[in-house]
Amino acid sequence: MRAVDAAVLILEKEGATQAFGLPGAAINPFYSAMRAHGGIRHVLARHVEAASHMAEGYTRAAAGNIGICIGTSGPAGTDMITGLYSASADSIPILCITGQAPVAKLDKEDFQAVDIASIAAPVTKMAKTVLEAGQVPGVFQEAFRLMRSGRPGPVLIDLPIDVQQTEIEFDIDLYEPLPVARPEATREQLEAVLDLIQSAEKPVLVAGGGIINADAAEDFQRLAETLNLPVVPTLMGWGIIPDDHPLHAGMVGLQTSHRYGNENLLASDAVIGIGNRWANRHTGALDVYTRGRRFVHIDIEPTQIGRVFTPDLGIVSDAGAAVRGLLELARERAAAGSLADRSDWVAETQERKGALQRKTNFDNVPIKPQRVYQEMNRAFGEDTRYVTTIGLSQIAGAQLLHVYKPRHWINAGQAGPLGWTMPAALGVVVADPTAPVVALSGDYDFQFLIEELAVGAQFKLPYVHVLVNNSYLGLIRQAQRGFEMDFHVQLGFDNVNSPETEGYGVDHVKVAEGLGCKAIRVREAGDLAGAFAEAKALMAEHQVPVVVEVILERVTNISMGGAGIDAINEFEDLASGPDDAPTATIPMTPVTAPAGA
């Protein structure tokens, strides 16, 4: 068989059967192998970068998934570098396959012949141009081992067109996936963690995205409940424990955080981080974050331990193995009656959760963004999968939306590329067509890869895309306040074809409709509930993406800090009673002053 026929058989054997991409001259042999095999599903993207984000969304939607993105030689590979960077930064395995000029033409400046392996090397676990057809099976086998071993991440395999078509001897029945290496904590190390917890008065658990990658959220919740400890999920770990769980103590950080989350962390004296990386927008100023606290850091990647600050106890371990081991030991101690009673400490965290809330119930016209998230909480249920990337929309959404299950907040974390949301949402829909998917974008993120709406229309991939439009680069505008400028961040203009946009510029409704989708524009807060209901009905009827564009006030400064988590700027009115935050997961306790602001 041809080398590409062997490669496609290996994809099936490894369980990677969903691809996103664009054919082209140098990758057509691989497409011919997929066509002949028939078992590899494929979604035709409109942009190759979007294909890589679709693959990431697909991977992140379910444990064990590995999305594949495919492109031809030259610019297809360079277009996918952003997707590889995003996947690498957030520890997401995706397989990128590119075509390449013939081996004899390499280093001869042939058409679309670029050294993509060297370009991709810094943002992949492996990037290799295969120069001999006989090496194809082994390279694919190693790629899957690397993607799944240690800290997960993407790989790139570059296949010259002549290598793809060369015949090799290959028997798929003799092929076996390589074993996956995952370090595990010892019993002694885990006993030391519990001893440190036992010696603390106010310990908290920080739940990172590594727990989701390890498919260990359920065991983690049991661990938290056995120890009766408050939980601080990171942005990548959001959903590991439901927002309304009595141990959910709030998210911490400079941006995507809760007021009560920051205050609870600051009141703690021991922090046990599992599968997290102490991201700077979680910690803020390290002297504030670490002062007066002892730290445990458990992570699968050895170089993560001590990278940001030195913990009191560092353990290299798969997050799932560590969680299960800690749970077993905690149950032993509980049976022996040797676990400390943390009821008062848990109650203290929940008191803050009830008192320190942000106001969402605004009736302003144009609409304030906080009201949008309030109505989203009402309109979309606990099974909703939210998908989003960078921007004020993501930051405010993380502060005010509610997530109840792992893999139901799918967010580009470290890289945060604009344009990621739409293709990632399409990948999530492909992975789980039964779950409601709601994407959240600002207008600039929405415009970056807007053409991918046509993919949703063509392949019948329905989801709701909430577009909060302030016609501004809102996050950059807010950052420019420190420079006393508002420079090249305004996106509004008078649209000669759509005067109804009233200076907000692009007519997203017309664009969405032109790409085969449905769209609704909302200008008043009282119309949001009806618009979301209509969007769900249109999505069900037509099986296409439905855009709900909400016209926001041009300028809203979202709660944010520039230094420590003890100095968050609250630009808007804070909630002072239950009516100010009607969709909070815990009834608000009326306060007379904004305590903890």
CATH number at residue 20: 3.40.50.970
In tens, the pLDDT along 460-492 reads 999 999 999 999 988 889 999 999 999 999 999
Give pLDDT, residue 548. Answer: 98
* Whether residues 100 and 164 fall in one domain: yes
In tens, the pLDDT along 508-536 reads 999 999 999 999 999 999 999 999 999 99
Residues of the domain holding 386: 369-558
Q: Does the pLDDT value for residue 128 go beyond 60?
A: yes
- What's the mean pLDDT in 158-186? 96
HSE of 188 in the Cβ direction (CA atoms, 13 Å)? 0
- What's the mean pLDDT in 271-293? 96
Give pLDDT, residue 474. Answer: 86
Q: Does the pLDDT value for residue 109 go beyond 90?
A: no
Give pLDDT, residue 110. Answer: 85
Secondary structure of the chain: what % helix, strand, coil (to 5)?
A: 45, 15, 40
- Residue type (1 letter), 561: G
Q: Is residue 290 part of a domain?
A: yes
CA distance 287 to 363: 40
Q: Does the pLDDT value for residue 181 go beyond 90?
A: no
What total number of domains does the chain contain? 3
Q: Does the pLDDT value for residue 591 go beyond 80?
A: no
Q: Is residue 569 part of a domain?
A: no
Give pLDDT, residue 150. Answer: 92
In tens, the pLDDT along 313-341 reads 999 999 999 999 999 999 999 999 999 99
Please, what is the end-to-end C-alpha distance for the chain in angstroms? 67
Contacts of 10 by beta carbon, 8 Å cutoff, 6+ apart = 137, 140, 141, 144, 172, 175
pLDDT band at 592 (very low <50, low <70, confident <90, very high): very low
Q: Is residue 590 part of a domain?
A: no
* Whether residues 391 and 342 fall in one domain: no
Percent of the chain with pLDDT over 70: 99
Last residue of a domain, one of 106, 139, 174: 174
Specify the range with the lowest mean pLDDT, choosing from 79-83, 204-208, 450-454, 576-580. Answer: 576-580
Q: Is residue 155 part of a domain?
A: yes
DSSP label at 102? -
* Whether residues 268 and 384 fall in one domain: no
The model's pTM is 0.95
pLDDT band at 593 (very low <50, low <70, confident <90, very high): very low
* Whether residues 306 and 271 fall in one domain: yes
Taking the mean position of all CA atoms in its chain, how far away is CA 362?
29
